[in-house]
Amino acid sequence: MSSTTNTSTQHTSTIGAIGAPSRRNTELVLLAFAVVIPVFAYANVGLALNDKVPAGLLAYGLGLGVLAGIGHLVVRKFAPYADPLLLPLATLLNGLGLVAIWRLDQSELLTRLGVAGGKATNQLIYTALGIALLIAVLIFLKDHRTLQRYTYISMVGALVLLLLPLVPGLGADLTYGAKIWIKVGSFTIQPGEFAKIVLAVFFAGYLMVKRDALALASRRFMGLYLPRGRDLGPIIVVWIISILILVFETDLGTSLLFFGMFVIMLYVATERTSWIVFGLLMSAVGAVGVASFEPHVQTRVQAWLNPYGEYKLSRAGVQDGTVHSEQAMQALWSFGSGGTLGTGWGQGHSELIRFAANSDFILATFGEELGLAGVMAILLVYGLIVERGIRTALAARDPFGKLLAIGLSGAFALQVFVVAGGVMGLIPLTGMTMPFLAYGGSSVIANWALIGVLVRISDTARRPAPAPAPNPDAEMTQVVRPS
- Going by pLDDT thresholds of 50, 70 and 90, the confidence category of residue 22 is confident
Average pLDDT score, the chain: 83
Quick check: 410 and 264 in contact, CB under 8 A? Answer: yes
pLDDT for 373 beyond 90: yes
Beta bridge partners of 188: 183
Alpha helices, DSSP H, located in 360-477: 362-395, 399-424, 441-462
**pLDDT tens digits, one per residue of 258-315:** 888 888 998 888 887 777 887 788 878 877 777 777 777 778 888 888 888 888 888 8
At 3 the pLDDT is 43
At 87 the pLDDT is 97
Quick check: 333 and 362 in contact, CB under 8 A? Answer: no
DSSP class per residue in 155-186: HHHHHHHHHGGGSTTTBPPPBTTB---EEETT
User: The pTM is what?
Assistant: 0.88
At 427 the pLDDT is 86
- Going by pLDDT thresholds of 50, 70 and 90, the confidence category of residue 345 is very high
Closest CA to 54 of 345, 362, 371, 352: 345
Closest CA to 351 of 364, 341, 338: 364
Average pLDDT over residues 213-230: 65
At 81 the pLDDT is 94
Q: What is the DSSP letter of 188?
A: E
d(CA 166, CA 41): 41
Range in 76-80, 305-309, 371-375, 466-470 with the lowest mean pLDDT: 466-470
Beta bridge partners of 189: 182
Quick check: 47 and 111 in contact, CB under 8 A? Answer: no
**pLDDT tens digits, one per residue of 385-438:** 999 999 999 999 999 999 999 999 999 999 999 999 999 988 888 778 899 999
Q: Who wins on pLDDT, 459 or 472? A: 459
Cβ-proximal residues to 6 (8 Å cutoff; 6+ apart), any chain: 480, 481, 483
At 430 the pLDDT is 78
pLDDT for 9 beyond 60: no
Q: Which residues of 235-252 are buried (b: 16+ CB within 10 A; e: fewer)?
A: beebbebbbebbbebbbb
Beta strands 224-227; 217-221: pairing state: antiparallel
Cα torsion angle, 226, 232, 235, 241, sign: positive
Quick check: 88 and 32 in contact, CB under 8 A? Answer: no
Range in 13-17, 179-183, 346-350, 378-382 with the lowest mean pLDDT: 13-17
In terms of phi and psi (left: phi > 0; alpha: psi -120 to 50; beta: otherwise), the region of 174 is beta
Q: Who wins on pLDDT, 288 or 371? A: 371
pLDDT for 221 beyond 70: no
Percent above pLDDT 90 for the chain: 44
Torsion of CA 113, 116, 117, 120, to 10 degrees: 170
Q: Who wins on pLDDT, 94 or 358? A: 94
d(CA 158, CA 453): 17
Cα torsion angle, 129, 135, 139, 145, sign: positive
Closest CA to 434 of 414, 451, 450, 407: 414
Q: What is the DSSP letter of 463?
A: S
Average pLDDT over residues 143-155: 91
Torsion of CA 366, 370, 372, 377, to 10 degrees: -80
* Longest Cα separation, the chain: 120
Q: Please tell me the number of Cα atoms within 13 Å of 154 on its side-chain side.
A: 20
Q: Who wins on pLDDT, 88 or 253? A: 88
Query: Residue 84 — φ and ψ, nearest 5°?
Result: -80, -5
Q: Who wins on pLDDT, 232 or 341? A: 341
At 4 the pLDDT is 42
Q: Who wins on pLDDT, 169 or 195? A: 195
Average pLDDT over residues 118-133: 93
